Structure 1
Amino acid sequence: MKEKIKVLQTIHLAICGGVIIAYATIGKFSIETLKIETIDSSEIVYVLIPVMAFVLSNFLFKMQLKQVNPKQDLLEKLPVYQTASVIRWAILEGAAFALLFIKPDFMVLGILIIVYLLFLRPTEERITVDFERIV
Structure 2
Amino acid sequence: MEEKLKVIKMIHFALCAGLVMAYVFVGDVTTISFNMPPLSQSNIVYVLIPVIAYIFSNFMFKTQLKAADKTLKPEANMAVYQTASIVRWAILEGAAFLILFLNKDFVLFGILIIIYLALLHPTEIRIEMDLSK
The equivalent residue for 1:18 is: 18
1: CA distance, partners of 2:49 / 2:16: 18
Q: TM-score, normalised by structure 2?
A: 0.96
Cα RMSD between the aligned structures? Answer: 1.2
Q: Aligned to 2:64, what secondary structure does the other structure show?
A: helix
Q: Decide whether the 8 Å contact of 2:24 with 2:30 is kept in 1.
A: no
Q: Does 1:95 align with 2:118?
A: no
1:129 maps to: 129
Distance 1:71 1:35 in 2: 50
Which deviates more, 70-79 or 107-116?
A: 70-79
| 1:33-90 C-alpha deviation (Å, 9 max, x unpaired) | 3111211111111100000000000000000101111101111110000000000000
- Paired positions, count: 133
Higher helix share: 1
Shift of 1:107: 0.2
Which residue of structure 1 aligns with residue 70 of structure 2? Answer: 70
TM-score (norm 1): 0.94
What do the CA deviations read for 1:6-30 (whole angstroms, capped 9, x no partner)? 0000000000000000001011235
Percent identical pairs in the alignment equals: 49
**Aligned equivalent of 1:108:** 108
Query: Does residue 52 in structure 1 map to residue 62 in structure 2?
Result: no
**Which shows bigger deviation, 31-40 or 120-129?**
31-40
Instruction: Check the 8 A contact 1:100/1:110 in 2, yes or no.
Output: yes
Question: Quick one: which amino acid aligns to residue 65 of structure 2?
Answer: L
Question: Structure 1: which 5+ residue stretches go unaligned?
Answer: none
